[in-house]
Structure 1
Amino acid sequence: MKRPPSSRRVSPIGLDLSPAEIRMVQVIGTPDQFEIFRSAVIPRRGPIESWTKLASIDVEALAGTLFRRGFSGDRVTIAAPREACSTHLIDLPSRDGKAPVDAIAKAEVGRAKRCDPSSFELAAWYLPSRGRGEQGVAVACDRTQLESRIASLEAIGLRVVGVDLAEWGLCRTFGPLLAAEPESVHAVVQVGWSSTIGVLTIGGQVVYTRQFSRGISDLFERLCGRTTLSSSDAAAFLDAMPNDADGSAGDLMVRRSLASLGKDLAAELDTAVTYVTHMYRSAPVGSIFLAGYGADRAELAGEFDRVMGMPVHWAEASRGGRRLELATGLAGRFDA
């Protein structure tokens, strides 16, 4: 694999293992300022029913792509499988004390799940203070499913040096933009294949994450049904279609489908923003940052703007580029 310039610090390879495609990014720089060194997107060839274990054909394609595209090293960072995770709101001791916060959080989540704390991995963090007892968020990931994903990558000689949450990876990519208005409630929305993630932040801190049941798959299935396009071809068609596309039947169908998707997602996000602004009444409403499929489409952004009245920023505003936002944020974990 190609080595980066010696004067720059190279990151692990961020892998976003989505149901329809595998996205990989490597960056150079520092945790506060980095740029993409290598990137690639390949379609999934195996069955997409499960996220937890990559099919052998996908693993082989991943290994070949990393080699041909000149990625450096064998260290990778992945996101915890979302379907293997559960989220819990927990009470935490004072953040000024010396209490073992991680151990306390793990024990509390174990009681809530009624399972052995050793059966899951945990990430926990404090929520912004609201002038009362300290609260935090804990996300537990089933150890068996996580180890299955790690094993499939280690089988091709990769070393998984970090496991992150998708919400934190996205926030890392959009970090400078979120920091521009640190007291505001911002929303990062990643449109996925069959579902969408909405992440609400204050001061760069994740305060609420919600998964919406709609993604881009409905549009792609309609597009593929009317043509001979594969799902990867449909993604390329969407990427290539300009925002000022003509009124052809195909373009019109895509535009209407994107607007319908945006309307539904904006209504779901509006509920989430209302909930968070009720929790943090003094925090002003900030901006929406779109990522994932169709993030640069005016039809999608227009519905969020119309329904919510919040400024909307497209994918170009991020350091990740089209559908690479999560992989970029995973790569940006220089501490891994």
Structure 2
Amino acid sequence: MVHLNKTQSPIGISLDEQFIKAAQLSRHGGQWRLDSAVRIPRDRPGAAIEAQEVRGLRDVLARQGFVGRRVVVGLPAQVLLGSLLELPPRSSGAPVEMLARAELARMHDCDPHSIETACWDLPGERQTKDTTHMMALACPHEVAEGLLDAFEQAGLDVEALDSELHATARACGELLSPDGVTAILALGWDAVVLNMMHQGQIVYHRAMAEVSMKHQASALAELLEVEPATIDAVWAQHNNTAPQQRSAEETALLETIAGILETHWEEIVADLEAPFAYIQSEHTGREIERLLLTGFGAATGNVAEFFEDHLHLMTQVVAPMDAVSCSPALGDKARDPSLTVAVGLARFTE
């Protein structure tokens, strides 16, 4: 039977050192629905992905109900070159995009012909008659070619390489403040990534590898006597037990875990002070109105409450079920914020 009102998205795939996340949606009557999603551990954590690992991923996707071989692969913020730029006004007739590429290459000490660049003007209040204020991102060809080779050799059709900054913002779209600034904080395995959105545009981003979840995962895994990649599931198992049903040992364990997590989150809060102050000074009169949390770390502990209390911002964890409708068959996957970026990648064609 052919469903004329149903359109399958490409498979969104996000990679980090520890996990591969994938999601695929279908369109029903103008609305997206998440049909398939999965998070699997990497074959060789920390290594560059190769065709053999992608072939294994392709087999997993087929068993998990994914359809087709079209994929959109994410580019994590930490592999991208980025900067805020001040360039001549567009009214001057200067080739602003070419200048942005050359300036970004100069700042990062690389050949302009060795990078692929995307750039966009910042919202209106930053512009003056003498200057074009832009945000620019670039991906080194070496990074892009490595990903393309691995996926294409494994028989998958890469429709696009997409910035995960944009993919996460796309997934969170309906939750962004219409007028003020929204901060999106991806508590990822490899890095904590701050992404500031204003009027539908990224106006600031920063990747903080030094406070990534993998560092805290090691300490928690040793305490729990489990593999680091499973700590979010183990936390949920313990935390979902009703307080009156917990043993004294389990209660003490949860308190110890919470202490480790809160120390980690305090470090992140301290790192947010400078960029928050910068954004509020640059975007005069525009308050940071809300904080959205995604990523592996957003599933551990009472993370939203902690950040809301310490930053005095309305804070929400964004899982796939908060971004799109979800098939009932997905179960806990619909509530897994580490999969949110894959949902945004799957929506690349919008």
When normalised by structure 2's length, the TM-score is 0.85
Mapped pair 1:86 → 2:81? yes
Mapped pair 1:192 → 2:195? no
Give the C-alpha shift of residue 300 in structure 1: 1.9
For residues 228-243 of structure 1, the aligned pairs below 5 Å read: 228-242=225-239
DSSP-derived class of the 1:167 partner: helix
Percentage identity across aligned positions? 26
| Equivalent pair of 1:200/1:273 in contact (CA under 8 Å) | no
- Which amino acid counterpart does residue 295 of structure 2 have in structure 1? G
Give the C-alpha shift of residue 183 in structure 1: 1.4
| Equivalent pair of 1:77/1:160 in contact (CA under 8 Å) | yes
Task: Report what 2:216 is aligned to.
Answer: 219
Task: Report what 2:56 is aligned to.
Answer: 61
Give the C-alpha shift of residue 318 in structure 1: 3.8
Q: Per the alignment, do residues 190 and 115 of structure 1 end up closer, same or farther by CA in structure 2, a change over 3 Å counting?
A: closer
Task: Report what 2:39 is aligned to.
Answer: 41
How big is each residue's C-alpha offset from its partner over 1:138-186, in whole Å with a ceiling of 9 and x where there is no partner? 11211012211111111110111111111111100000110xx321111
Q: Per the alignment, do residues 131 and 122 of structure 1 end up closer, same or farther by CA in structure 2, a change over 3 Å counting?
A: closer
Q: 1:250 aligns with which of 248, 253, 256?
A: 253
DSSP-derived class of the 1:329 partner: helix
Q: Per the alignment, do residues 5 and 226 of structure 1 end up closer, same or farther by CA in structure 2, a change over 3 Å counting?
A: farther
Task: Report what 2:123 is aligned to.
Answer: 128
- Which amino acid counterpart does residue 253 of structure 2 have in structure 1? G
DSSP-derived class of the 1:194 partner: coil
Q: Per the alignment, do residues 108 and 216 of structure 1 end up closer, same or farther by CA in structure 2, a change over 3 Å counting?
A: closer
- Which amino acid counterpart does residue 332 of structure 1 have in structure 2? R
- Which amino acid counterpart does residue 204 of structure 1 have in structure 2? G
Q: Per the alignment, do residues 112 and 131 of structure 1 end up closer, same or farther by CA in structure 2, a change over 3 Å counting?
A: closer
Q: Which ranges of structure 1 fall in alignment gaps of 5 or more residues?
A: none
Q: 1:209 aligns with which of 205, 208, 218?
A: 205
| Equivalent pair of 1:261/1:300 in contact (CA under 8 Å) | no
| Equivalent pair of 2:81/2:108 in contact (CA under 8 Å) | no
Q: Per the alignment, do residues 92 and 4 of structure 1 end up closer, same or farther by CA in structure 2, a change over 3 Å counting?
A: farther
DSSP-derived class of the 1:248 partner: helix
- Structure (1 or 2) with the greater helix fraction: 2
**Aligned counterparts of 2:171 and 2:160: Cα–Cα separation in 1:** 16
CA RMSD of aligned residues (A): 2.5
DSSP-derived class of the 1:9 partner: strand
**Aligned counterparts of 1:4 and 1:274: Cα–Cα separation in 2:** 54
Mapped pair 1:9 → 2:7? yes
- Which amino acid counterpart does residue 261 of structure 1 have in structure 2? H
**Aligned counterparts of 2:123 and 2:143: Cα–Cα separation in 1:** 31
| Equivalent pair of 1:238/1:294 in contact (CA under 8 Å) | no
When normalised by structure 1's length, the TM-score is 0.88
| Equivalent pair of 1:191/1:295 in contact (CA under 8 Å) | yes
Q: Per the alignment, do residues 81 and 233 of structure 1 end up closer, same or farther by CA in structure 2, a change over 3 Å counting?
A: closer
Give the C-alpha shift of residue 201 in structure 1: 0.9
For residues 68-147 of structure 1, the aligned pairs below 5 Å read: 68-92=63-87, 94=89, 100-129=95-124, 130-132=126-128, 133-147=131-145
Task: Report what 1:332 is aligned to.
Answer: 347
Q: Which ranges of structure 2 fall in alignment gaps of 5 or more residues?
A: 325-333
- Which amino acid counterpart does residue 236 of structure 1 have in structure 2? A
**Aligned counterparts of 1:99 and 1:159: Cα–Cα separation in 2:** 37
